[in-house]
Structure 1
Amino acid sequence: MTYPKDDLQRALRDAYAMERYAERLLRNHATKSAPYPEVKARIEVRLTETLANQKSLASCLTRIEGSDAILQTLTDDFAAAIETSNVAQTSDEAVKNLISLYAFNDQEIASYSSLIAIAEASGFFETKLACEAIVLQQIAMADWILDRLPAATKAYLGRGASPGES
């Protein structure tokens, strides 16, 4: 039998690992987006949010577990499960990078939606609020990417503005 607190701890550890992976992914995409200043700037904003989210999740885990020792032993198993670790190197790189970021954001949104329900069921409402704030950031980033995909695709085809414009 599992207990809600145990489920919450596992979900928080997974979310922390996901945010660590997101950090690496965003750093990689920011580097690849140098020719597109608006895209690079937005990715860097998301990276800053991701680093803050790591701290928020660490605080949630510390509050629940009473120590931060667990954070020193977390592995990035989540990263191994994702195939998007290699950023595209093709001529349609900007489009593929935005698509991979969008797909990863959708996965994060789903994960945090579940985590919010677990936190609420466990009675850890501060954790629920922290995760709700994070999911709102994820949704904003996904919307931003989705708004720019048509322009990025047209730019790749040579018919439109740069990927940063909408």
Structure 2
Amino acid sequence: MADDETREIFVTGLKNAHAMENQALSIMKPQVKRIENYPDIAAKLEQHIRETEGQISRLEEILSSLAEGHSSLKDMALSAVGAMAALGHSVAGDEILKNSFANFAFENFEIAAYNSLITVAELGGFAGLVPGLQANLDEEIAMAKWLEANLRRTTIKFANLKEAGQTAKI
């Protein structure tokens, strides 16, 4: 593969990752605003929002080091998709569970994207840019593990609140 082709794949992947992280923000921010009965989830989402903002900054630094910028169109499009997904779950009677499932799936999507980006970086001779991508990957892995480890507890709490006739939705 020619170096310029690998660079193009890498830059496209970085722009996609930037848009993906903006989508993540548009999903998490509405969720965290609506949470009342799950303070641990709210706190974790707030932490991950801050991490995601840092991930966006790292991606912008990497793009800048390549004399590239992010794609505003991709950012806006995926942010709109994320906002619609968050809105769609808000009408569900089991919103907290649906959000938990979707967040876990999205974290694993991000993990796959960063693993692929790291591979392309290594193939294209951009090994010096891997640490920033690895930092993003590590944060996504930690969030996915947290979501997986807490799904049972969240489900039990939801069921108990529902059974007690309390607001279980979120």
Range into which the TM-score falls when normalised by the shorter chain: 0.7 to 0.9
Q: Which amino acid aligns with 2:49?
A: L
TM-score by length of 2: 0.83
Residue-pair matches, total? 157
Give the superposition deviation at 1:81: 6.4
Instruction: Give the alignment partner of residue 99 of structure 1, picking from 95, 98, 101.
Output: 101
Equivalent position of 1:163 in the other structure: none
Instruction: Give the alignment partner of residue 154 of structure 2, picking from 147, 152, 155.
Output: 152
8 Å CA contact 1:87, 1:97 repeated in 2: no
TM-score by length of 1: 0.84
SS in 2 for 1:71: coil
Q: Give % identity.
A: 27
Aligned mates of 2:40, 2:58 — CA distance in 1: 27
Equivalent position of 2:65 in the other structure: 63
Aligned mates of 2:14, 2:139 — CA distance in 1: 17
Equivalent position of 1:35 in the other structure: 37
**Runs of 5+ consecutive residues of structure 1 not aligned to the other structure:** 161-166
Kindly provide the CA deviation profile for residues 39-87 of structure 1, in whole angstroms up to 9, marking residues without a partner as x. 101100000000011010000000012x5xx337443244566673435
Instruction: Give the alignment partner of residue 112 of structure 1, picking from 107, 111, 114.
Output: 114
Aligned mates of 1:43, 1:12 — CA distance in 2: 23
Aligned mates of 2:8, 2:46 — CA distance in 1: 34
Which structure has more helix as a fraction of its residues? 2
8 Å CA contact 1:23, 1:50 repeated in 2: yes
Q: Compute the RMSD of aligned alpha carbons.
A: 2.2
